[in-house]
Amino acid sequence: MKFKIRFAEQIVGVFVLVAVAFLALVLILIGINQRWFAKDYHFTSRFPSGDGLSVGMPIKFKGFQIGAVDRISLDENDLVDIDFSVYDTYIDKIRRNSVLELVSSPLGIGGGLVFHPGKDLGPPLAESSFIPSLNSAEGRRLVQAGLVDIPPNSDAVTRIVGEVDPILKNVNATLVSVHQLVDTLNGGLSGAADNPTGSLIRNASDMTAQINKVLVDLQSITDRLAAAANSPNGPVQGMLQPQGSMEKILNDNDALYDHIDDTLANLDATIKQLSDFVTYLNSSQPEITGILDEGRETLSQGKEVLEGIRNNPLIRGGIQPRIEQPGTSAGYRDGGF
C-alpha cells in the first residue's frame, strides 16, 4: 500500500492538529494583543461635532496607542459625548489638565484622537473623569495657561495649516475692524452717524450759520455807525460840533470817556474771561473761540470807533494804533482735517 494510504490516519491527524493549534495560537495572541484580560480605565470627553470620530478609533499619545473610543453619543446640548478607555499601562499619563485633540488629516482619511497630558505631575485622574477637548473653552484655557504639554505637530502639512490658520484669522479680524472704522469715519464725516464726531460736525455747521448771521448784523451796525460818524449832518458830526453834545460829553474832563473806558475795560475783562472759558472749552469746541474772536474783533472795532471819537484830531489825540492780538486758538477753519 502506498505510504499515504497506510498512514492515512496519522497524516490526517497531523493535518487537523496543526490547523487547530494555529487557530488556538491566533486566538490567544489576539486575546493578549487586544487586551481581553487587561483592565481598561474609562473616561469621557466632549466635542462640538462627531465628524471624524468613530467607535474603536485609537487614541494616541506620542505615536503610541494608549486607548480607544468606546461610545459616541449626542447629548441634549447638541454636543457629542464620547466614552473612551485607556489601557492600564498608560493610566499614569492621564493627569490633571490633560486634553484630547481631534486631528483631521487634510486628505479626509486617517487622522485621529491625540492625547496631550497635563503638565501637572500629580496622581492620575480617577476613572470616569472628564477630559476636555482641545477646542472647548476649557481646553483652550488650559492651553493658554500653559498647563498642557502640547508638542508641535510632526506632520508638516498639518503644522503649516495650523500656523496659517490663526494668522488668517487675525488678518480677517483686522480687516473687519478696519472696515468698521472706515464705515464709522465715513458716517461721521457725512454727519449722518450718531457718534460724537458726527454731532460735533453737525453742531459746528449750525454754529457757523449762526455766527455768520451775527457777523452780518454786526457789520450792518458797524456800517451804520461809520455812516453816522461820517455824515456831516449826522448825529456823530453833530455831536462833534464844538457846540454839539459831543463836545459837551468829551469836554467833561474825560469823565464820560473814563466811564466808557472803564466799561470797555470791564467788557474786555469779561470777554477775556469768556475767552479763557472758551479756551477751556476750546479743547472740544474750537469754533466757539472763533466766534468769540470775531465778536472781539467787532468790539475792538467798536472800541476803535469810540477811541477815534475821543482822539479825534478835531477834538484831540489820534487813534492809537491797535495791537493785533492773536487768537487764543486756531480758527476752526484753519486746520486741515
Partner 1 sequence: MVALLGRRVIQRIRGLLYAAGFLYEVLRESFLFVRHRQVGYRVLTMQILFTGVEALSVVAVLGLALGVVIIIQGMSLLPQIGQGQLIYTILITVITRELGPILTAFIIIARSGTAIATELGSMVVSHEIEAYVAVGINPISYLVAPRFLGVTASLLILNLYFNVFGLVGSYFVVQLIKPVPFAEYFRGLLSSLQTADILSSLVKSLVFGVIVSAVSTFNGFRVESASTEIPQVVIKAVGQSFMLCIVADAVITLIYYMR
- Residues forming the site for partner 1 (CB under 8 A): 4-5, 8-9, 11-12, 15-16, 19-20, 22-23, 26-27, 29-30, 33-34, 105, 107, 109-110
Nearer to partner 1, 5 or 121 (CB): 5
- 276's grid cell: 479763557
**Nearer to partner 1 by C-beta: 27 or 164?**
27
Q: Which is nearer to partner 1, 84 or 257 (CB)?
A: 84
Q: Are 287 and 208 in contact (CB under 8 A)?
A: yes
| Cell representation of residue 216 | 452780518
Closest separation between CB of residue 10 and partner 1, Å? Answer: 10
Nearer to partner 1, 21 or 168 (CB): 21
Looking at the DSSP bridge assignments, the partners of residue 60 are: 65, 114
- The DSSP secondary-structure symbol of 130 reads B
CB nearer to partner 1: give 110 or 317: 110
Contacts of 228-234 with C-beta under 8 Å, sequence gap 24+, read 229/305, 229/308, 229/309
HSE value, Cβ hemisphere, 13 Å, CA-based, for 2: 4
Nearest approach in angstroms of CB 23 to partner 1 is 6
In the complex, least distance from residue 31 CB atom to partner 1, rounded to whole angstroms: 9
What is the rounded end-to-end Cα distance, in angstroms, of the chain? Answer: 118
- CB closer to partner 1, 19 vs 164: 19
Tell me the closest approach of the beta carbon of residue 114 to partner 1, in angstroms: 15
Which residues in 29-66 are b (16+ Cβ under 10 Å) and which e? eeeeeeeeeeeebebebbbeeeebbeeebebbbeeeeb
Q: Minimal CA–CA distance to 111: which of 48, 146, 73, 59?
A: 59
Rounded Cα distance between 11 and 1, Å, is 15
Q: How far is the CB of 9 from partner 1 (least distance, A)?
A: 5
**Of the two residues 58 and 327, which places its CB atom closer to partner 1 in the complex?**
58
Q: Which of the 8 DSSP states describes residue 199?
A: H
Cell triple for 172: 480677517
